[in-house]
């Protein structure tokens, strides 16, 4: 089973600031990582996945301030300028090869 480890557990930032969230895989998984956002009381929402040299794939309606980089075992989700609606918990998840598909424990972005 591939273990996904996120850091930090909590990230305190102010609106307009840049937020950098990290995710590490226990083995190389190419770029087969997805990021999900979960606002309080809501279901998770796909944000972005599959970082590559030509860029990553943002889900429908996800603003360009969300970007994703990394490959192998180290991955980063960057929110360039935090908006009020971005305060949420973010999960990374691998989809490399075969299940089980595992999630990181989450990073809470708070004000």
Partner 1 sequence: EVQLMESGGGLVQPGESLRLSCAASGFAFSSYAMTWVRQAPGKGLEWVSGISDSGGSTYYADSVKGRFTVSRDNSKNTLYLQMNSLRAEDTAVYYCAKDSGKIALREVFDFWGQGALVTVS
Does 98 engage in binding with partner 1 (CB under 8 A)?
Answer: yes
Does 49 engage in binding with partner 1 (CB under 8 A)?
Answer: yes
Query: Which residue shows structure tokens 């708070």?
Result: 110
Q: According to CB under 8 A, which one of 2, 25, 32, 66 is a site residue for partner 1?
A: 32
Smaller CB distance to partner 1: residue 27 or 81?
Answer: 27
E strand or H helix at 10, and its extent? strand 10-12
Q: Closest separation between CB of residue 16 and partner 1, Å?
A: 28
Smaller CB distance to partner 1: residue 19 or 56?
Answer: 56
Does 40 engage in binding with partner 1 (CB under 8 A)?
Answer: no
Contact (CB, 8 A) for 20 and 78: yes
Contact (CB, 8 A) for 22 and 78: no
Q: According to CB under 8 A, which one of 23, 51, 104, 109 is a site residue for partner 1?
A: 104
Does 37 engage in binding with partner 1 (CB under 8 A)?
Answer: no
CA torsion sign for 72, 9, 20, 89 is positive
Judged by the rule CB under 8 A, the positions of this chain that interact with partner 1 are 32, 34, 36, 38, 42-46, 49-50, 59, 91, 93, 95-106
């Amino acid at each position: 089973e591939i273990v996904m480890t996120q850091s930090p557990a909590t990230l305190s930032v102010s609106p307009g600031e840049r937020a950098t969230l990290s995710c590490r895989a226990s083995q190389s998984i190419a770029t087969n990582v997805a990021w999900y956002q979960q606002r309080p009381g809501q279901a998770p929402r796909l944000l972005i996945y599959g970082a590559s040299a030509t860029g990553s794939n943002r889900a429908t309606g996800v603003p360009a301030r969300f970007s994703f980089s990394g490959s192998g075992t180290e991955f980063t989700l960057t929110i360039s300028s935090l908006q009020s609606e971005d305060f949420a918990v973010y999960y990374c998840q691998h989809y490399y090869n075969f299940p089980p598909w595992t999630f990181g424990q989450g990073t809470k972005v708070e004000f």
